[in-house]
Amino acid sequence: AARGSHPGLLLEVEVENLDELTQALVAGVDRIMLDNFTPALMREAVALTAGRVPLEVSGNVDLVTIGEFARTGVDFISVGALTKHVHAVDLSLRLQLD
């Protein structure tokens, strides 16, 4: 349905296990996000997809885990911790035109 409505857009699907990953591959999505996968499951996902679609990791990514996640062979790593606890700063900008 998503492809029919917006055929020019890339379709990314988030999966929570290898069964959902297999379904996403069969559906022909453009990118798959592995949500809260362990490094062992990430390696299995990389082997299962065999380069057919890019894989993105999300969940439990921080300075301690990012190196291990990168070594699994995934293509992208999303780091929500960069913005999760950020506090907004209220700024004003005044321009004077001569």
pLDDT, residue 1, reads 63
Kindly report the pTM of this predicted structure: 0.79
pLDDT single digits (tens) 71-82: 999 999 998 766
Instruction: Tell the CATH superfamily of the 2-78 domain.
Output: Aldolase class I (3.20.20.70)
Closest to 77 measured CA to CA, from 60, 58, 63:
58
Q: Are 42 and 69 in contact (CB under 8 A)?
A: yes
Going from N- to C-terminal start, the domains of the chain cover 2-78
pLDDT single digits (tens) 12-62: 999 999 999 999 999 999 999 999 999 999 999 999 999 999 999 999 888
